Each structure stands twice: as C-alpha cells, then as structure tokens.
Structure 1
Amino acid sequence: MITKINLKNVACYKNQTTLETDKKINLIYGLNGTGKSTLSNFLYKKDEEQFSYCSIEGLDDDTQILVYNQSFIEDNFYESNSLKGIFTLSEQNKQVEIEITQVDNKINELNKEKQAFEKKIAEENKLKDDKLADAQDKIWEIKTSYSGEGRVFDYCLKGKKARDRLFVHLTTIEKTSEKPSKTISDLKNELQSLSGVNATTYDLFSEISFIEQSKNIENHFIFSKQIIGNENSTVSQLIKELGNSDWVKAGYEKYLSPESSGNVETCPFCQEKTISDIFRKNIQNYFNESYEKDIQQLKKLSEDYSKLTIPKLPDLKNIINTYSEALDFIKEYELNYDKLTDIFKENKRLIEQKISTPSALITLNNSSIVINKLNEIINFINNFILDYNEKLKDVEKVKKEIENQFWQIMRWNYDDDINSYLKLKSKSNNEIHNLENLMKSINSEINNEIQNKTQLQKNTSNIEGPIKNINKNLIDLGITNFSIKKHSENFYTIVRENNNQNVFISLSEGEKMIISFLYFIELCKGKKNISQEDKKIKKIIVIDDPISSLSHIFIFNVGRLIKNEFLGVRDNNTWKYNYEQVFILTHSLYFYYEITERDHKIRKKNQKLIRLKKNDTGCSFEKMKYEEIQNDYHAYWYIVKDKDQPPALIANCMRNIIEYFFNFVEKINLNNYFQQNEFINNIKYQGFYRYVNRESHSLGQNIFDIKEFNYEDFKEAFAQLFKISGYEDHYNKMMNE
C-alpha cells in the first residue's frame, strides 16, 4: 500500500510536500483551494508530464489506484450532444462515444457537402427543365399552326400532339446538310393538288411536229428570187427602164387585164387614147406563164405557212401546285410561245409582201431555234405530268414523302431552339456527371465512416449490470424520485417519478455526482462490465469531495454508503476491508465528521486524520486530532474577523460557517432569507450572495472569478444574513470573542 505521496512543482505545491501514512483509511480535510484536487489528479493521472516531479512510495506493481474526482466524472460520464439528459457511463464507452460523435460530425459534414452537390444538381436539372419548357413552348407552335380539323398537315402530327412527344420527335430528326428546297406552301399545294376534287391525270403534251415544214418554207429559194416578166416582150425594155415591174403588174391588173372593169383606151397618166389592144397584148405577154407560176407558188407557201398552229399549254394548275419548279418551265414556254407567234406573224407579213412585190428579195425569220426550245420545255413538262400521274396512283406513299419533307422543314425552322437546348443540356449533363462523381466519392466516404461507426459501436462495453446496481443503490440512498433507464444502445436517461416517458432535460450536478459515484462504486467492486471479473486485483481507492454538489439531505446517506463500502466492517473482534487502502478528501467539516470513526481505539488503529493547509510558501499535510474537528468552526470565525487574511480564504470561511451553522446545525433553508428585500434590493450584497450559493465547491474557483473582493461589503452581507434569520446575537458573540 502507499506509504508516501510526494508532490512538487505542481499547482500550489511549490516545494516538496509529503503525505506519510501507515493506515488503510486516510481522511484528508482541507478548505477549497488548498490542493485536494491536485492530489487526487496526481493519483488519477500520475504518468502525465505535469506530475514529473511527484512520486509515490510503497505502491506495488499489481495494485490498481481507482480515483473518484471531477476528472473521473468528465472521463466516464458522457452526455449526448444531440439529446439533453441522455448519457453513458464508463471511460471506455465515453471514448468510443466521443469517437462516434466525431464520426457522426464527419458524416454530417459529408452529408452537407452531398446536399450542396444535390442542390447544384437540382439547379442544373431545373435549368435543363426550364430550357426544355421554353423549347417545347416554341416547338408547340407546329401543333397550333398545322394541326386541326380541315388542315392538310394534321395527319403529319398524328401521335405527336403532346408537348413532350412533339419535341422528342423533332429532335430525333437528323437535320439535312442543305436547306429543303420546298416550302410549307409548296407541300400544301401539292397535297391539295393530289387530294382535291380536281385531282386527275394529265395527257402528255405533244411536241411541235411542223419544225421541218416551217424550216422548208422559211428557207425556200423563191423568196430570194426576183420574179419578173418575159424579157422578149416589146415592152420589156420599157419596163426594165422603169425599174418597177411590180408597178406595171399592178397597173395591168387594174386597168388592162380581162378581169379589170373595162376596156380602157385612155392612159391614166396622159389622158390620151394611147392604150391599144396591141399595147395591152404586149403587156400581157410580158407577164407570162412562168411569172404566174412563181406567184402561185408564193401563194401556196403563204397558205401552208398560215396553217402552222402553235399548240397552247392546257391548265396545269395541279402540276404547278405539285411542282413549284414547273412554273418556271411553263413561264418559259409561254415566253417562247410569244416569240414563235411573233416570228410566224412577221414571216407571214414578208410572204405577203413578196406576193405583192414579186421582184423584191426577202429573207424569212428562222423559227427552228424557238421551236426546239419549246419542244425541250414540253419534254420537261411531260416529265412533271408523268410524275404527277404516277403519284396519283399511290397518294398515300406521296403523303408519307410529304410528311417527311414537312418534318425536315420543321427541323430547319426550329434548329436554333433545339440547338440552344441541346447545348445547355450537354453542358448541364457534364456538370451533373462531375457532381455525381463527387457524390459517389462522398457516398464512399460516408459508407466508410458508417462502417467505422459500426466497428466502434462493437467496442463499447456493456454496463447494464452496474446500471441495475446503481438503481438499487439509489433506492437505498432514499432517492426514489428518479431512476436510470436504458434509452438506446449504451445510452441511458433519467426517468422521473410518475412519468413513464424519458425526460430529456439536462442532469443537475447533484444527479451527475450521485450517478457517477454509484458507478464508481461498481467499478471498485470489479464490475466494469458483465463478463469481466477483476476482484482479485488489489485496489487503492481515492475519493475526492463526493458531496460537493449534493443537498445536505443526502450527505449523511452518501457518508454511510462510503463507510459501508470503503471503510471496513467489523466481524466479531476483527475488521475486514474490501480494498487495500482508502483516501478520502473533503472540504466539508460536517462530512468529515460523519465519516470519522467515533470509537477512539478503532480510529487510532485503522484511520489517519490529516489536515491539508495552504499558505504563502505552499501546501502542507498535518496530522489532525479528532477534537479539532469541532474547534474548526471557531477557527473560521477568527479568519473572518481578520481582514488582512487572503480574500479567497475569508470568503471561503464565511461560506463554511454558513454551511455548518445553517445547514447542519439549525437545518435552515437559507434561500428564504436570500429572497428577502434586504438582499434582493441591495446591489452590493449580490457578489456575496452568488459566491455563497455556488453549487459546486470543487471547481477550484476563487472570489476573483466574480468581482473584485470588497471585505466590508462581504462582512456587512454576512452580518445581515444572521440578523434577518434571527441569529444576530450569535453573530455578535462569535465576532467579539
């Protein structure tokens, strides 16, 4: 067992301070701030660097030191951050739960990242959806413009009269490299020409067949021949000199020919009777049979030429509606038709001129070029007619072709809308793909963390057995208004009296102390978990201020519990101890008195009473007599009366006097006095009030944690408390001794 504890260069132990003992039970009394917590922390974590100048003598290697102090509570009592009032016990479970909390935090952070990515994905999908809706609205114009009863293109939209179907159909059509040559108007005309009431086949248009005939007439030699009379006639020389046989011919036919009006003898020019039968005969001989033959041939050519008729095109409206390019050929035909008409008209005029003036030389216009052009156009038009007639044989096939052409035109017309959507969709899909890859990585991390959490949960120890014992001990302590109930795996909660539901409230410091101390007792018994049995191990027990946060109602019960478990039991004339050695530290004189053995012989044999003191040079351990326990009350008053004592010590002694006199001697509830106007309405008393009413005395706080200490204010408030409670005489007596 421990024989010496050496403390040096840590906290208030400036110089080496040694606690010597040869007893199993060591009871150490000291005011707050004298070094009790430092002593218990050294025994709890003796291997830490801060205790490198401290040492223990007499400790065997196989002896385990179990320490109950604030550090033990912090290490073993773990409250869930997510649910107040939910806690676990066991240092091992606390560490695991801390690690689980870290894992949960990591999972939460990963989930936040995941949610951020999900939000971005949702935003990208919304962009796509909005752009799709815009494109669909635009393309919906096709339906509103071309679908409906009586509209020729309604059949093209069959099965595509929903926004999504129409859009999908149009986007699946491959755009042609060249813009469609036909327009919607062309297709409409074609449909109407093929399916209208006037839709009928056309006969082929015959070519112009008189091209050779017209060529022969136009190139006839007679038009380049000077037709004149008989040169052997006696008047031939005269006519030649006149140089105008055509004029003579005209005069002859009018005045001298048998067909004229009479037998003229008087010259129409000189008015002399110079025209004789001989002259008339000579003129007639001049225009002989050869001359007349040429004239007759000219007339025959004129007659034949006049019979040449240029064919006119029939009504080709359906052809034009079906083939827009056919209109150009028809217009060209009409243009050349007019040209040929003009040529024929001019040639006829020239032939008539030749007949009238046979001696004149003429050249007719060539119509062959124009006729050939017309025949060429007729061939093109016939091709349209043939194709049109063929289409009429299978209108449904043609309608299918028109449907394909319709959608090609639509694809071109709405290409910008489609491409705008497809570009945004491609960009968004790439972004979504990248985000989903990041999410996969995050999901993988989350799964790893979940597996890690699962493994950590397997490492927690089962403390259901100790929890049962704690509930039993709570009843033994007289605490029946709450118990501990399992909340979830390795987590527990306080269940209040008459309430079957978990009460999710923060545990009070007193509840934490009671529960953690009862759990400490279970650890000391060797029941860290159900399967472990470690009772054979020698154990030294250290208990630091177990009643610091307790109501005075439970101090006696806790004292009794400590005495029964740790201070040994009498068996006939011998004492039996559960543990190798016990150290109990307290600031409470009353509690110290409670756990001290009253039998002088037994106390002298088994217990060592030690006082821990602190002064300017450091701390010291001094042997304490049993009688001094009662005298310390007077010592507190001496310190309070001396304003030159350290402020923290004066305030601490005031609190110890109040605790001893009011709580333990007179059993008075001080709160009733602190709520009276003398305290509530006096601001300068508030520092004293808050200091005296601090719940925990084990936090190592001093008076400077609240406000600058004012001795006169504290002394006045101290006196006021005794005055309003009716104990002013006692105050005056103690202050004047």
Structure 2
Amino acid sequence: MIEHFSIKEVATYDESGIQVAGLKKINFIYGANGSGKTTVTKYFYNPEDTVFHKCNLGWLGGTPVKALVYNKDFRNRNFGKGNIDGVFTLGQATKEQIEEIEQKTKNREEIKEKGRKEKKSLETLNFKLQELENDFKEEVWVEIYKKYEPEFKEAFKGFMQKELFKQKLLDEYETNISGHLTHEKLKEKADTIFGKAPTLLSIIQNISFERVVEIEEDNIWKKKVVGKADVDIANLIQKLNLNDWVNEGRGYLQEEETCPFCQEKTITVEFKKKLESYFDETFLKDIELIKSCSEEYSLLTANLLNILQQIESAEKLNENTKLNIETFTAYIKTLLSQLVTNKGLSHNKVKEPSRSIEFIPVKEQLGNIKELISAANSDIEKHNTIVANYTTEKSDLIKLIWKYLIEESRLRIQNFLKHKAGHLKGIDALTKRIDNLRIDYKKLDQEVKNLTKNSTSIQPSIDEINRSLSFYGFQNFSIVPCKTEKNQYQIQRGDGTLAESTLSEGEVTFITFLYFLQLAKGGSTEDDISDERILVIDDPISSLDSNILFVVSALLKEIIKGIKKSEGNIKQLILLTHNVYFHKEASFIDGRTKECSETAFWILRKNYNVSSIESYGMKNPIQNSYELLWMELRNKDENSGLTIQNTMRRIIENYFKILGKYGDDDLIQKFTDYQEQEICRSMISWINDGSHSIPDDLFIERQSTTIDKYFDVFKKIFVHTNHLEHYSMMMGAPSLN
C-alpha cells in the first residue's frame, strides 16, 4: 500500500510540486480537466521513468506492490491493436481447491502483515539506536571536544566533525593502551609539541666557582700578618699597632738617612737592617699571597658576573627559554651585592695585612645559580630530544591525550556501548525473524502459484465481461477467445465479424473498464493471479453515457467494500476524477455514515499553470445534501432514468433510515404489485452492505415510462408510510389529504 507520494518538476508540477501523505485504503482525488491527474497516474504506472526523477513513492513497510493503472494510456495499450491479452482467473478450480487457495492466500497475508509489524518494530528500534547515537555524539561533542579543543586542537585534527569525533573516541576506547598523564602534564607537553614547530635550543654555559670558594676559605684572610717578634723594634711596633703603618712606610725609605716621617737624619744602616729583619721572608710571602688572592678573586668574580649577566640578557630575549629567569636575576643581584662587599674586604686586607677579615660566603648563592642553570639545561636537553624525535613524540602525545579523554569519559562510553549492544541484539533478533518470515512467505507464495497455475483460465473473464455488457444493454457485440492466438480475446459482432474498429467511443471506454476490472481481479499471467495490487483509476466515465455513470460507480463500490474488509488481493484504490457527480456517487457510503477512517479525500487544482493539492482528510469536500437530492428529483427532466432511480434510493435511505421506523422489507412489503415491489427493491438494494453484487441487484431500464413508474412507486412509499406531507414539502407541491 502507498503511504505517501510526491510529484515534482514534471508537466504542471513545479520544483515544490505536491506532497500527498496519509493515504488510506480508499482515496479520492477530485480535479478539473488539465489539473494534473493523468501525470499522477503515469507516475504510478512507471515511477522509474526518467521524467519522474524528482518524484517519490513511499510504501507501507517499504514493500512495493504492483500498481494497476487505468487511464487513456491503458486503453491505448490494450485496445486498437487487434487481439486483446487474456485475463486469467480461477475458472477451473473446484470448491476445495478454491478454499485451499483462499486459506493459503490468507496465511500468506497474515505472514506479510506480521512481517510489516516486525519491520515497524525494526524501524522503531533502528530509530532508537540512531537517537542513542545522536545523543551520545552531541554529548561527547559538547562535554569533551568543546572543553578540550582550545588546548588539544592539534590532537583533534581530522576528527573535527561530530560523527568523526564520536567514532574516533570509540575506536580509541577499544585500542588505546597508552599510559595515563595528568591534564597539567599533557598541557605542558602540548605547549611544546603543538605550539610553533620546535627548534633546537642552545645549552646554557654553566659556571665553575670552586676556585672562588677556595680563595674565600683561605686562612690568610683571617691571619694577622705582622713582622718578626724577636727584633728589638718589634715590641714598640706591635705595642703601638703600627705594623701596617710601618710596613707601608718602608716603601718610602730613600738612600738618604732622612726619615720619611720626621724628616730627620735618623735612618741608619742598622735601623734598616732591623726593619728588614722585622719584615722577614715569611711576612713578605704572606703579603704576596694576600695580594695575589685578592687580584685573582677580583678577576674570577668579575668574569663570573660577566658570564651570568650575559646569560641573563640572552635568556630574557629567548621566548623559548627554559631558565627560571626571575629567580636567576634575583640570585645575580644578591651575588653582586655579596661580591662587592667581599672585594672591599680583600682590598682592605691588602692594605692592612695585620687585620683579620671574613668574607660573605658566595658558595650557596653560586650553587643556587648553578642549579638553576643545570635545571634549565636538563629541560633544554629534553626539549632537544623532543625536537630530534618530533614525529614520534607528537604521535605519542596524541595517543596520551586520547587516553586521557577516554579515562575522563569511561563511564559515559561504557553506558553508551551497553545500551547500543542491547539495541543491536534486538535488531539482530528482529532481522532474523523477518528473514524467516520472508522465507515462509516465499514458500507459501509459490504454493499458491502452483495451486492456481493448474486451475486458471481466461474463459471466466470472457463470461463475466459479456454478462456485464449484456446486462447493461451492450448486446450487439461480445468478447470471444481468439481462434488463432492462445490466451487472447477479440471483440466480435453477432454475425462473426470483428467489431473493435467500429465501436463507439463510449463502447470502447466501457469495455476497457470492464476489462480493467477483470484484470484487477485476476492476472495477465497464470502466476500473478494471487499477487497483491493497488488500483489507480483516472476518470473511468470520461466518455460514457450518463446512464453508465452509476453502473461504473456501483462496480467500484463493490471493489471498495472488498478493500475495506481486506478481502481479496486488491489492497488500495486511488480514484481520480473531474466529474462531480461521479465523485459523489463513488464516494457515497450510506445515509448514516459521513466519514470513514479507511477513506481520504483531496482536491487537485491548477493555478497559473502550476498544480497544487489540498487534503481534506476523511471529510468529503464534495457533499450530497438531502436538499440536493430532492432538487435533482424536481429537475427530473434533466436527468437520466438511472440517475433518478439512484437519487430516489438515497432519499429513501436518508429519510427512513434516519427515522429508524422502517426496514427494507417493511418498505417493499407495502406494495402488492410484483413489478412495484421489484422497482422498490431496485431503489433500496444498495443500502445494505450485505446485498448481492451490484449487477445482479440493479434494476435498469431506460424507457421514459419506467421513469414515470419509478416516481409513482417512490411517492407511494411515502403514501403507504403516512409521510406524504414530507414528500409534498420537499417536492414543492401542495399538501394532499
């Protein structure tokens, strides 16, 4: 069964086209001539035609069903070419065979219906699975990707789309065996590897300060360097603490005997000897040591400071520095202060060797500085190792990042996979059941075809068509089997001559429709008799006499009844017409029921050469009102005899059934005349769904005298039931007492 269809970009349908949804078992589409009805039927006949490449058909359960299409093309394909292809029906089957075929067909339909339900369940489960996938995809996109993208964007390259990211996360969950690093460590490594392409960094020159420490710790700085104590002038020099003063004054002694201090001739050779004896070789060595240590200390510390200051300047300009520059600078400032003090002390010691001094130790400060440099160099070596192995390091880091993301979302992923596994298990079970049902269906289908193959014939279709032709007054021609071709028909007159080329337009149309109905009930081959099908009918009364309008509608109503009851292999009807009255007749249910859940209505329109459609759901947009029926009777001279009969029948149904006072037999038995009873029966025979087939019960005559007789019987119904007042009121006649 078709659930929905769309027609676009073909004929009078523009790029928006029409979308028709909510099709039921019975569907009526009303549209004026040229509104686009034939295009719709052509699409149903051959949806694979390239002109319909923008159109779409939606089948119930996704299962296509054979569509039999009645339109002008159907007539052209089947008539006007000579012989007519035969229609196979169960003509030779026994009662038991027919019952067996019907039972197996019923079983086949039950399997198909069960398959539809299972497919529906499968669709629901697939939808839930897709919903689960989408929810998980959105969740990880927001909670993981958006959260970590600023930091780890490089690791997400190639997966910066929701579906790809979700799948990558699941893949990594299954395969990633990397270690686990903290977020801080990952960010630190990412800053190095994912930043600007890394380059080699130069090792920072480290410092050596052992000699500086040795000089600072030399005992000479604490030693009071004085002259020899056993010289007689020693007591006076030391008593007056003039050691450094005298030692410095020695340099001012001249060859003369004049004292550089008092300018008297007091410097004797003997005094000079005493001075030289006092400032002996030991004293001179100590003095020399002090001077050399002071000079060396100044030189070493100056060089050291120069190195450190160069390092400081270079690293401040290095944006990739690994040195803790702030701490390094603070250490240098402290060191500089210490060295300035120590240099002052050493200079004083040189000037006053007899003084004892103590340096501020710079060992600790230089040690701190050296540790900073060593730490920086260690990081530089690591960095340079990374640079040397950049591709490997980058790949490893990306794996570590995904491992971190997995661990952060482990419960979320496990919960998703658990529910997904449940859905997949259900889907697998449903798929297997559907496959088994498909096997069972094919088996039963083959059994039905085998049973029908040997029980079919084209003769029943010939007999049925000829009976209908005769019954409805077409008695000057009939359908006969072709004598030269097997399983084909010919249209023949009573004298044996072929009649196809001499038939009127209305005769060809009617016989074409009768042939179509037989084809709908049977099959063009022995194998497809039992196949399910839908009927698409486009204006079956376009060229017919108005007398036949109700015949065609009656035939269609019998088919509609079967479709609604799910009897037979016709599963759906789509009827398109431009004839308002035919539409009303074909869609009429009964006087009590205005809507049916199995029926849907549309109106197809064309404005400015563009077709559009409007849905009316179960509500028939072309309604027959009770007043309209009486109006048609009042204008009886403009209607055919058949129209009058049907109108009377529907008035009887509306009026008497609504009142609920009379049953069908009650009305018929009001007449004693047999002919009047038959006319009355003819008018109301369509009221009950359980009546016989329309051709059997329909009482048709076209003589004007019969029309008058209808009116007479119709009026007597109201007379016999004491409702003449109502008749007179509706017919606009004065009251009759």
- TM-score normalised by the chain length of structure 1: 0.44
Q: Which has the larger radius of gyration?
A: 1
